[in-house]
């Protein structure tokens, strides 16, 4: 998978891709990440990429011209399965959306900044808009990193255990059950006996029941999906 990310602050977003699973995915050749500084497409020598919004109001808006130049250059080089805009005023990212995107070959992500982007960018270029939650960040860089992490870890061969991602929370509309590791007893706290029994059908049954309990308690809305 190739992911191109357009950003006003490339240094802000690069570090999450230099560690852990995202780095291993790149080292294995499973993911290819490219960052594009929007200021390289500025409308003047001073690096201008934003302006005041028509109609008044606080906050600067990213202009259509530099975004158009950047997107057009990238789109000449390859076809993108999706051109994604990270913005809080969109449908919230969920596991189902991450699963779908993990099957794609080429993704292009535009990160918002300031008050957002000129609406004409969204109307002309964007094929998918994604929010990571009902709150506002200073820019879309961290949101883009969250999206990439959620998607890339699902690509076959990225995780050490091929079945690991399939047992994550939300894959079956349930939260994950409790997990334990050594020691079997710490102070007065013991691991549930069933997990030490070696009876894997019963263990699976226990995990499902615990996942259901946890979901009913914390996220009952998931059970209605």
pLDDT (tens digit per residue) in 183-218: 999 999 999 999 999 999 999 999 999 999 999 999
Which percentage of the chain shows pLDDT scores above 70?
95
Q: Are 62 and 38 in contact, with CB atoms under 8 Å apart? A: yes
- Would you kindly state where each structural domain of the chain is located, as residue ranges? 2-152, 169-224
CATH class of residue range 2-152: alpha beta
CATH of 169-224, one of 3.30.1360.120, 1.10.240.10, 1.10.287.3510, 1.10.1270.20: 1.10.1270.20
Q: Is the pLDDT of residue 63 over 70?
A: yes
Q: Are 97 and 130 in contact, with CB atoms under 8 Å apart? A: yes
Mean pLDDT of 107-116: 94
Q: Tens digit of pLDDT for each residue in 3-26?
A: 999 999 999 999 999 999 999 999
Query: So what's the pLDDT on residue 170?
Result: 65
Query: So what's the pLDDT on residue 172?
Result: 75
Mean pLDDT of the chain: 94
Q: Are 196 and 184 in contact, with CB atoms under 8 Å apart? A: yes
Query: So what's the pLDDT on residue 165?
Result: 64
Query: So what's the pLDDT on residue 168?
Result: 62
Q: Is the pLDDT of residue 158 over 90?
A: yes
Burial class (CB in 10 A: 0-12, 13-18, 19+), 59: exposed
Q: Is the pLDDT of residue 167 over 70?
A: no
Torsion of CA 71, 79, 81, 88, to 10 degrees: 0
Q: How confident is the model at residue 52 (pLDDT cuts 50, 70, 90)?
A: very high
């Amino acid at each position: 998978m190739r992911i191109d990310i357009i950003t006003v602050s490339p240094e802000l977003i690069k570090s999450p891709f230099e560690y852990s699973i995202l780095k291993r995915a790149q080292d294995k050749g499973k993911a290819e990440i490219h960052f594009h500084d929007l200021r390289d497409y500025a409308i003047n020598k001073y690096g201008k990429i934003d302006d005041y919004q028509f109609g008044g109001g606080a906050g600067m808006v990213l202009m259509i011209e530099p975004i158009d130049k950047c997107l057009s250059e990238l789109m000449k080089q390859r076809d993108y399965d999706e051109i994604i805009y990270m913005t809080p005023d969109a449908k919230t990212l969920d596991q189902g959306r991450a699963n779908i995107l993990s099957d794609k070959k080429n993704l292009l992500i535009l990160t918002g900044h300031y008050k957002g982007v000129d609406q004409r960018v969204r109307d002309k270029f964007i094929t998918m808009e994604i929010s990571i939650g009902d709150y506002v960040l200073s820019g879309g860089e961290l949101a883009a990193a969250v999206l990439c992490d959620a998607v890339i870890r699902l690509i076959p061969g990225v995780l050490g255990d091929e079945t690991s991602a399939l047992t994550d929370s939300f894959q079956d509309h349930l939260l994950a059950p409790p997990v334990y590791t050594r020691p079997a007893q710490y102070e007065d706290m013991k691991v549930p006996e069933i997990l030490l029994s070696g009876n894997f059908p019963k263990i699976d049954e226990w995990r499902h029941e615990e996942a259901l309990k946890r979901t009913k308690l914390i996220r009952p809305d998931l059970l209605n999906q």
